Structure 1
Amino acid sequence: MAKLRDDEIQARLASIRGWEHLGDMLVRTWQFASARRALEFVVQARGVSDRIGHYPEVVLGFRTVRIELNSRADGGLTEKDFELAAELNALPDDR
């Protein structure tokens, strides 16, 4: 998949609430009411990743989940990263 140019990345950011463009990654952190709920979110995110076939870096904290997206094989961000970000945003994130 083709690496996106900076102008393409900036144009797509508006469509994925809560995500930041940091370096060569898309990053978002969720906060949850409990550690259990944070872990459940990670399990749901894995299901989405399996379906799409694109896997993020996931950092699970006590009640937080940080997800970092990057298509390293393609040298930066691609449409796959934005697709996964949108799908992750659709997950229930009740806190």
Structure 2
Amino acid sequence: MAQLLTQTEIQEKVSGLSGWTVEGSKLKTTRTFKDFIQAIEFVNKLVEPSESAGHHPDIEISYNKVKIQLTTHDSGGLTPKDFHLAEVISQIN
């Protein structure tokens, strides 16, 4: 099980991520695309890095918007795994 981050560590890490916020025990972002097809193409690009990391985001799709939430469920909050995957996701267009 991954070690939970302290509130100080969480604030330090989220400050380095553009477009991400922390709400409770979740790291969140919303990406907006031209249309539904581009939104789905983006979600498909999340599969390989999520599988490689063994860490899977919660994803909500609403037409051209993709909401992503990260938390380490088995640890009960935010861990380095969440921030690592957020960094990877931030690089995907």
Normalised by the length of structure 1, the TM-score is 0.94
1:83 aligned residue: 84
Post-superposition shift, 1:10?
Answer: 0.2
Post-superposition shift, 1:28?
Answer: 0.2
1:19 aligned residue: 20
Equivalent position SS for 2:3: coil
Post-superposition shift, 1:72?
Answer: 1.2
Segments of structure 1 that go 5 or more residues without pairing to the other structure are none
2:60 aligned residue: 59
What percentage of aligned pairs have identical amino acids?
A: 33
Normalised by the length of structure 2, the TM-score is 0.96
Q: CA RMSD in A?
A: 0.7
Take 2:28 and 2:47, find their aligned partners in 1: how far apart are those partners? Answer: 16
Q: Deviations over 1:44-65 (max 9, x none)?
A: 0122101111001000110000
Take 1:46 and 1:64, find their aligned partners in 2: how far apart are those partners? Answer: 17
Q: Which amino acid is the alignment partner of residue 63 of structure 2?
A: F
Whether 1:45 and 2:33 are equivalent positions in the alignment is no
